[in-house]
Amino acid sequence: MKKTIKSILALTALASAALSATAQTVTLKLHHFLPAGSFAQTMFIKPWCDKIAADSGDKLKCQIYPSMQLGGTPPQLFDQVKDGVVDITWVLPGYMAGRFPLSEVFELPFMMQSPEGTSKALWDFVHTNPNVAAEFKDVKLIALHVHGDGVFHMTKKPVNTMADLKGLKLRAPTRQTNKLLAALGATPVAMPVPQVSEALSKSVIDGALVPYEVVPAVKIQELAKFHSETDPAAPAIYTSTFMFAMNKAKYDSLPADLKKVIDDNSGMATSGMAGKAFLAADAAGKKLTEKNAHNVIPSSELQAWMKAGEQVTNDWIADVTAKGADGKKLLADAKALITKYAPK
């Protein structure tokens, strides 16, 4: 009888230990809008998930849901993570036009030249400006980053001059980039990346303004014949900002050791790592387009483009200033930080 009781107690202890170990394992639902094979997932999102798993001794794990598998549309991802429908998301604030007006300064024309440095600058900018930080107050930010240079991917003809854009229907991701396209003479068509493939194949648009990183996600290498880049010595024609964010209540529910793992894999260094990963993804994406035609729009031509872009910037300054912010100071702060974190 004593042996039986001891055996039962031993089994109970083992079961309790197993349940305790299981209880300590937290699986985070991570939702994003690109396919599983996209460079965003393979070169940034999954490596980040692998890192928190390793750092936590597999107590923290991600269950990644790409391609909006949990439902909704890309612009709804922020509310999904804010409301706890998902635990983590990766999304462009620019998909929610007007909701993050102050941080849009990084999406103004010809601001960015180094994705890694500008991503660090973006993190610093948000966390040293209380009014800008308030735009993200409903989530736990893990990283903020930008992508590499935007490129014109065209179906029928390359872009060499501003005149080549006149009347063409072109996709761009954010309202500031759409305003720039309009200033350059094109007809902007706003749409999230997942819609680009169908729009190109059905000639709804004549081209798309996206970085090379996006190429495999929407098969641009098959749908576009011409790829027109701006002079790499000049600032990028545009970039988009991205947020990698966690539900606040989910973060707060974690034990201290797992919170520390998230914290250690958040912040400026993680933001810079994301920017660096997206720059590497550009090189991989460009390689997929080797069979197509490529050209570079020279710096001399871009002077006129920059002049057109100044009006977009001035309109943004006027808009945020009318809402109570100091637009000129925010622009100056953003430029100073981009310079501060630029590669030496």
Residue 101 Rama label (left phi>0; alpha psi -120 to 50; beta): alpha
Helix axis angle for 327-340 and 299-322, nearest 10°, is: 130
CA–CA separation, 28 vs 49, rounded Å? 9
Residues in the chain: 344
The yes-or-no verdict on residue 9 having pLDDT over 80 is: no
Please determine whether the domains at 25-147+240-283 and 151-238+289-315 fall in the same fold group of CATH.
yes
- The 3-state DSSP class for residue 294 equals strand
Q: What is the mean pLDDT of residues 288-307?
A: 97
Domain regions of the chain by residue span: 25-147+240-283, 151-238+289-315
pLDDT tens-digit readout, 67-90: 999 999 999 999 999 999 999 999
Helices (H), the chain: 2-24, 39-40, 46-55, 77-82, 115-128, 130-133, 175-183, 196-201, 215-218, 220-223, 248-253, 256-264, 268-287, 299-322, 327-340
pLDDT confidence of residue 23: 52
CB contact at 8 A, 34 and 217: yes
Q: What is the mean pLDDT of the chain?
A: 93
Residue 97: band (very low, low, confident or very high) from pLDDT cuts 50, 70, 90:
confident
pLDDT tens-digit readout, 205-237: 999 999 999 999 999 999 999 999 999 999 999
Residue 24: band (very low, low, confident or very high) from pLDDT cuts 50, 70, 90:
confident
Of all residues in the chain, the percent with pLDDT exceeding 90 is: 90
pLDDT confidence of residue 344: 85
- The CATH superfamily label for domain 151-238+289-315 reads Bacterial extracellular solute-binding protein, family 7 (3.40.190.170)
The yes-or-no verdict on residue 36 having pLDDT over 90 is: yes
Q: What is the mean pLDDT of residues 136-161?
A: 97
CA–CA separation, 321 vs 114, rounded Å? 28
CB contact at 8 A, 229 and 223: no
pLDDT confidence of residue 257: 97
Tokens of 152: 């014109």
pTM comes to 0.91
pLDDT confidence of residue 64: 98
Residue 301: band (very low, low, confident or very high) from pLDDT cuts 50, 70, 90:
very high
| Domain 25-147+240-283 annotated CATH 3.40.50.300 | no
Alpha carbon dihedral 64, 65, 66, 67, in 10-degree steps, equals 180
pLDDT tens-digit readout, 164-174: 999 999 998 89
pLDDT confidence of residue 19: 38
pLDDT confidence of residue 17: 38
Q: What is the mean pLDDT of residues 82-109?
A: 96
Tokens of 47: 């490596």
- The 3-state DSSP class for residue 310 equals helix
Nearest to 60 by CA among 229, 232, 198, 266: 266
Neighbouring CB atoms inside 10 A of 249's CB total 12
Q: What is the mean pLDDT of residues 31-57?
A: 97
Phi first, then psi: what are they for 118, rounded to 5°?
A: -70, -30
